[in-house]
Amino acid sequence: MDRNSIIGFILIGILIVAYTFYNQPTEEELQQIKRKQDSIAQVEKLVKEQEIKQEESSFQVVGEVASSTSTASVAESFTTLENNLLKLKLSNHGGKIASVELKKYKSYDDSPLILWEGKGNNFGLQIGQQGNILSTQSLVFESARTTDSTVVMTAQTPMGGKIDYIYSLSKDNYSVGFDVKLNNLKSSLGAPEKINLVWSEDLIANEKGRRFENRYTSVYYKKVDGDVKHLSSSADTDTEEPEDALRWVAFKSQFFSSVLITNESFSNVKMETNSYAETSPYLKRTAVNIPLNYKGTNDTSFDLRFYFGPNEYKTLRKYGKDIELHKLIDLGWGPIAWVNRFLVIEIFNFLEKYITSNYGIIILLLTIIIKLLLAPLTYKSYVSSAKMRVLKPQIEEINERIPKDKAMERQQATMELYRKAGVNPMGGCIPMIVQMPILFAMFYFFPVAIQLRQKSFLWAEDLSSYDSIASLPFNIPFYGDHVSLFCLLMAVTNLIYTYINMQNQPSTSQPGMPNMKFIMYLMPIIFLGVFNQYASGLSYYYFVATLFTIIQTIIIRKFMIDDEKLLARLEENKAKTKKKPKSKFRQRLEEMQKEQMRQQKKKKK
């Protein structure tokens, strides 16, 4: 491995660490979370007070109607709408979806997987009339099942208006139709100025690694003519009001989402997230306020639909490529996302067709296939490293002949040796750069791959979460309170790989980088801290990939490259080399080196 390959490897580590810290809460955010943990009771009290105030203010239009139709005077009852994938409970209080159960999935404690339910679930219309608000959340709805797959929830508004919520659910579908019909609005409410849809949920923690799950939980939204964005997942509180028109808004967690979709667009949407303490059964409270496109007519309707389901790439693609629900899954940016979409996911899905019972084997085969695809680049990188290695004695002779304080002369002499021998110092850098998108693609893919959720392998109970072979009685900063064996194995193999490569490096061949070996050996230790909390499937992949690379290196060195023949070829190149005109780049490089030497001499004086 030459200097450029080493630098590329270091950059990979730095970027991974930087990404991890970018997604970690800041010190200010941690203080906010701590304050919230200390005052969770007060927060819950405030939420309840807000709910009470909302119900009290919802009938400012016609006071006497509240006594006859408000939810306070009628017991709550539920109507069930379900297929083989979903089970919805529709409440007569507000006509809302009271809870959503995903029937094919379980929570980490093997209980039914519920996206949200309870008093933290609020959904309804706020109909404005001359400064007063009528909230449908305080209306009592009557349910009527028109077909096996359709339920109509109907409520009467003050003075004779009518509101219909029409829910429809087809077989083998995560999509729920939601049509809103408002009749006789002007006659019953005067002249409503606006209609807002208000939706808030307490998202339940459903995964083993709560902190990791929370990192992927927030409000997401899709711009009509743009990309998918989201509120901060690490901040204790975040709000946003996009100026762009939106196609959908979603309450997303690590593996599941609740999405509200319109066939037209939403504008001036207000969004908010608030984190709960770690002791709470909830991750975040998410909320949106959506002004609907009301044109002031006496009768109006809105054609909406929900998606309640898994964040699975191929599943989300089925619900309309134009609305891009699949972008709820963060597969990385630019080339990294392309690698995941067109290589990693395709290979993974292909293997999944034939191997359904052991995802550890799928990851192993995925690793081998990718490493074989990269084998030509690995070989090219090794050849470049081998050229540097066989020239090691000559480089060390240069270092002994030229004192350390003449670093520029050392570098010039080394570069001249490379030029004569026909060695390109950048030869190992290009293969490394080509491989970087794949390395990062895996970093994005494994934590969001729902196929690995609750799938065990060896000692790992859940490949989508960390594997723990020992729990610590204390928390180690940057590491955590448990020992992940796959992470430990990954760090050890990286140390071995680093040792093998550093043995090939001249001891003082890196001018200006005296701490290179220390940095290289430090990187696996940093990885140990970074990946201890990550998905064990990711650590397992990097462990197998590094082990495979070590084996490749040994095979190439023992059977494919003869150091003596390679050195003889380089010596032949030196003998044949004629003095060529210096390139403009080389001229500029030498001028810079000379200027640096002049500056160093001035400092000594």
Bridge partners of 237?
Answer: 274
CATH of span 39-330: 2.70.98.90
Residues listed for the chain:
605
Segment 37-70, tens digit of pLDDT: 454 444 444 444 444 344 333 323 332 233 335 6
The encoded tokens of residue 516 equal 């290179």
Cα angle 334-259-74, degrees, rounded to a multiple of 5: 165
Gap between the Cα atoms of 230 and 572, Å rounded: 60
Give the pLDDT score at 292: 92
Distances (CA, A) of 301 to 59, 166, 528: 22, 11, 56
Q: Which of the 8 DSSP states describes residue 452?
A: G
pLDDT average, residue stretch 416-445: 77
In 3D space, the residue among 203, 213, 116 whose CA is nearest the CA of residue 462 turns out to be: 213
Residues 6+ apart with CB under 8 A from 488: 528
Domain residue spans of the chain: 3-21+336-574, 39-330
Strands 112-114 and 97-106: antiparallel
Q: Which helix (H) or strand (E) holds 273?
A: strand 270-275
Gap between the Cα atoms of 123 and 258, Å rounded: 13
The more confident residue out of 56 and 233 is 233
Gap between the Cα atoms of 483 and 474, Å rounded: 12
Judge contact between 273 and 232, C-beta under 8 A: yes
pLDDT average, residue stretch 95-112: 92
Residues of the chain above pLDDT 70, percent: 78
- Report phi then psi at 239, rounded to 5: -135, 155
pLDDT average, residue stretch 302-323: 90
Bridge partners of 309?
Answer: 257
Amino acid at 435: Q
Segment 480-497, tens digit of pLDDT: 788 899 999 999 998 898
Mean pLDDT, all residues of the chain? 80
Per-residue DSSP letters for 534-585?
Answer: S-HHHHHHHHHHHHHHHHHHHHIIIII--HHHHHHHHHHHHHH----PPPHH
> Using only C-alpha atoms, what is the Rg of the chain?
31
Q: Helix or strand or coil: residue 291?
A: strand
Asked if residue 105 has pLDDT above 70, the reply is yes
**Least confidently predicted of 105-119, 124-138, 412-426:** 412-426
pTM for the full predicted model? 0.77
